[in-house]
A and B are shown apart, each in its own frame.
Chain A
């Protein structure tokens, strides 16, 4: 045993090759996104174990994500809804640690799917078994619930904007608007046949709400009070189409990000519904996606990832995409601005 350990210790660590910068689109076009990093376990958070610790306690186990489905973030933290554990995994960027949110007692999660985290670090979790949205406070303690078995059949995702909570119910095929304080249903959107298995919801910076209408293969855009404003996309494998649309997110400029598990990519649309860019793509290489599902945009933690960015690329916000399979569980991309020398054709 000792000899094996000594043998291991004598093998020098392979020096890490400088990672090739992966931009979307690639240079010399003006890059808009850069793939930054993948997080699959605690070791990917960059905490170094001292040689003494390793000698005394052995090599630290990696804490691993299982099957991440949805993702959300607030300052200092990334939250993963992990379908293998059916728990929320908290990634603490400051302490570089991963842990479970300790849901228990009246706050126990049954079959959680979608998660939304407010700027105040309130976690809202859609739970298909409880048929409720369960909220946890900034200290990860149970706060309250929204809805009941009388209201929801299969609540799969939740978004919050101001005093309103938006919940998509995949079986009732409706979008519910609830009051955040009273918990009362203000409005129900979706006549029979209007949605076909809605699966994800997000709210944009101006309060518009976007719902993935999964088997209509498009995204529906609603005003804050639930008036249909627009649809984005169509069924098909052409640019701008959808085959297995999943998670949605909106940035500060009303750009819509849509994950597709069939293309294994993310498409970005402007506020007019025009396609801007897609990124990811199938494979197991850096930046590739493997049955992706959830997405979140985060402008609070760019500093933690700036070290992965090209020196000529200034990050504006981060884009997290979860992969349900493969070795790279959470992909982190940076949306940013090229500040290097001028590019040809511009």
Chain B
């Protein structure tokens, strides 16, 4: 719309160092920022900026705490709703502390089936790439963090039949039980 002409600086701020904005806090690259914020970080913000419950389906299913306005402040951020938390570090230490989670550095994700390829091209097989051991850590986490795309296959890389954008079939809660040891 504005072609290649440089845009004028904001009229009220002439000392602006940049002409472009940071998007999603610029932490969406898994090579950047390992800060533990306990809040959705860049790669999940990409999802949540549309999935706000109005523009697109709420990422947290639209369930609520009911009518209680009192709840533990510690839950803010890490559990934005009563659904699954995201953007937290899931590692051996967390698994040990929790006691009901598998160790993501050793437990296999199970994402490397023959369906885990694009158009049956074996080179697109995800698990096992980059020396991956096929663990949860390697296949599903991003800098050890659980994010939206840990479970949601938004680009349909795995092409699992009947899964509605999940990285694996959740029949019998198989996706849940990948990490949860109950």
Contacts and interface: CB of A to CB of B under 8 A. Distances in A.
Interface of A: 24-25, 29-30, 32, 40-41, 61-64, 66-67, 69, 83-87, 89, 98, 100, 111, 113, 128, 156, 170, 197, 199, 214, 234-235, 237-241, 243-244, 246, 260-265, 268, 270, 274-278, 281-284, 290-291, 293, 324-327
A240 B7 contact: yes
Q: Is the interface of B mostly helix, strand, loop or mixed?
A: loop
Contacts of B54: 69, 83, 113, 128, 156, 170, 199, 293
A29 B14 CA distance: 8
B10 A324 contact: no
A326 B67 contact: no
Interface string B8-38: 1111111110011111111000000000010
A64 B76 contact: yes
B52 interface: yes
B39 A293 contact: no
Given A61-B70, A62-B73, A284-B37, A239 B25 contact: no
Contacts of B55: 170, 197, 199, 214
B10 A325 contact: no
Contacts of A41: 73
Contacts of B11: 270, 274-277
Interface residues of B, number: 44
Given A87-B67, A197-B55, A237 B23 contact: yes
B80 A67 contact: yes
A144 to B, nearest CB: 24
Nearest to B11: A276
Contact of B21 (A63, A89, A265, A325): A265
Contact of B23 (A113, A262, A326): A262
Contacts of B10: 239, 275-278
Interface string B29-72: 00000000101100001001110111100100010110101110
Q: Is the interface of A mostly helix, strand, loop or mixed?
A: loop
A234 B1 contact: yes
A281 B23 contact: no
A85 B71 CA distance: 12
A213 B26 CA distance: 24
Contact of B67 (A64, A67, A85, A197): A85
B81 interface: yes
Contacts of A282: 22, 24-26
Contacts of A260: 21
A281 to B, nearest CB: 7
18 contacts: A25-B13, A62-B73, A238-B19, A244-B49, A244-B50, A246-B52, A261-B45, A262-B49, A268-B12, A270-B11, A276-B10, A277-B10, A277-B12, A282-B26, A283-B25, A291-B52, A325-B48, A327-B39
B110 interface: no
A85 B19 contact: no
B37 A98 contact: no
Contacts of B8: 274-275
Q: Which of A32, A243, A261 gathers the greatest number of chain B CB atoms within 10 Å?
A: A261
